[in-house]
Amino acid sequence: MKALGRQILVEYYDCDADIINDVAQIENILLSATRAAKASIISHNFHKFSPHGVSGTIVIAESHVAIHTWPEYNYAAVDIFTCGETIDPWTIQEYIKDSFLSKNVSSIEMKRGLFKVAPGEELLFKPKDAGKVNILN
């Protein structure tokens, strides 16, 4: 069985509440983490809730990174989904952990889009229209 993608569901506990309640810091951290993994950023959108909490997504040619934070619990939940073999989602996970000053992390990886392929054959993943999009830096 071969997988089209890998998805990591991450729970960051004991984070710095000020960091995970700052929409600009979170946006910068997630964009930097995504760049560190050499993902192709397509678009991103982040929102600050009142009185606290941030949600956001980064759409990448290889799939997405999404976050929801609960600063009042020093907690953040992140979904990192990458397709193909070129991006290591664990690079993103580690970058975020260090940036949030998280003392405890729980992560689980799932293989997505499992298919049987003939011996020696590979699943081909090419983001649709990846060459035609305006990549953000």
Catalytic positions are 63, 68, 83
Residue with tokens 């560190």: 36
The enclosing H or E element of 36 equals: helix 23-36
**Alpha-carbon distances of 60 from 43, 64, 107, 118, rounded to whole Å:** 7, 5, 21, 29
Euclidean distance between CA atoms 78 and 74, whole angstroms: 14
**Alpha-carbon distances of 36 from 90, 103, 113, 137, rounded to whole Å:** 11, 21, 25, 12
